[in-house]
Structure 1
Amino acid sequence: MRSIRPISADEKVVYLHIPKTAGTSINFYLRSIVGSDKVGWLGKEISLEDLSNQEKIEPFKVIGGHFNIEQAREIQFPVVYVSTLREPISRALSYYRYIMKIPSEVERLGLCGNFDEDVMHRFGEIVRDQQCAFFGIQMAEDPLRALLEIENTYVAPVERAQNLVDQLSAALGVTAAPLGRQNRGEGPTPDLSSEIYEVLRTVLVRDRALYDGLVHGKYFG
C-alpha cells in the first residue's frame, strides 16, 4: 500500500477536485482539521490566476478545487497532490445531473437536456477519460502506471476516502476525524440502452482502467 509520507512545514497539500468525487466533503473535512483560514479553495478564497501568485498562496496549507495537475504546477511551493476517483459511469451520470441544474452550464457546454442525445453528440466528449485528464494521463496506455510515475501523488477511490483522509491527517500531524457522509449525488440511475452504455464504456476506457487499478490493486488503501 502506498502510504502518505509526512508532509513538511513548507509543503502545500493540493487537492485536485474532480467533479462529483466527494470533493466537497473533503473540503469541509480539511477545513475542520487544519482550520478554514489555512484552506484556499478555487472560487472561494482563490482564483486560477492566484495559483502562480506566491504571496496569495503562501498563507494556505491546503489548496483545492476544480483544477488539473498542469494548472496546479503553477504553484511556487513544494506540493503533495491528493485526489479521489469514482466509478466512471456513475460519476458521468452524476455529473450530467449536476450540470442540468445550472442553465448557464447547459448553455455553455452546448447540451440539449436529453441524456441520450447529449451523450451521442457532446457530453460523451466532455467526460472522455476526464478523471485521467486531471492528472494529464488521458492518453497513457497504462493509466495506473502513469499515475504512479507522478511524484508525491496520493489518490484513492471514494470508497476509501476515509482511509485517505486518515493518512493525510497523520502526514500533517493533526488529529483525524470521521469524514462523515459523502455526498456522491447518486440519485436514480437511468436505464441505459446498450448503445449509450457502449458509448460511455468507450469514452471512459482509461478512467475505468485507472479506477479498477485503484480498487483492485495495491496502490492505495
Structure 2
Amino acid sequence: MWSSTLIRFVARNRIVWYSMSAGIFTSQVKTETNIQKASTKSYILQDVSSDLTHSQLIKNASSAAVDSASRLLSQTAIAIINVYNSYTKSVEDLIELFKLHTQCLGDEAAQDDVWQMIIQQRVELDDQKAAIKELDDLLNTARKVLENASEAAYISGCEYSAVTANEKLHTTNVLVENAQMASQKMDVQLAQAQKEDITEVMNSEDSNLESDQES
C-alpha cells in the first residue's frame, strides 16, 4: 500500500524520508559522517609549499619573526622613553616646588599650600617609577625575543634580517639609556634641592627659636 511507503533519498548531508500517506518530509542528520569529516580535517596540515622550497619558506618566516619582534621592541622603547621624559619633567617641577617652599619660609599658610603640592608631585613620581619598572621588564623580554629571532634568521640564511635586528637592538639601547641618564641626572638635582630645603627650614626654625628666647 502507498500509505506505508517511505521514499528515502540523500540531500547533501541529510537523509530525507518522504511519507506517501502523510505527504510530509522527515530528515536525519548524518551526524556520524560530519564528526568523521571534522576529525579528519583537524589532522590535516596544509601544504603551502607548491611554489617555494622549505628553505625559502623558513627564510620568509624568519624574516617575518624579526619584523614582528622589531615592532614589539620599538613600541616598548617608545613607551618607556616617553615615561622617562615625563618623569624628568615631573622631577624638574618638584625641584621648583622645593625652591618655592624655601622662599615661603615665614609664611605658614603659603608653606602648607606648597607642601601639599609637593606631596601630590611625589605621588605622580611614584606612579611614573612604577610604569618605568613594568616597561623595563617588558623591554628586556622584547630584547630577548628579537635576539632569538635574529639568531634564527642568521641560521636560516637570512643574514640581512639578522643584521637589521642587531642594528635595531643597538639603536634602541642607546636611546633608552640616554633617556634613563637624563632622569638620573634630575634625581641628583632633586636630592640636592631637598637637602637645601631641609637646611633652610632648620635654619629658619633656629632663627625663630632664638627670636622667641630674646623676646
Shared fold (TM-score greater than 0.5)? Answer: no
Q: Which has the higher helix share?
A: 2
Which of structures 1 and 2 has the bigger CA Rg? 2
Instruction: Give the TM bin, normalised by the shorter chain.
Output: under 0.3
TM-score normalized with structure 2 length: 0.26
TM-score normalized with structure 1 length: 0.25
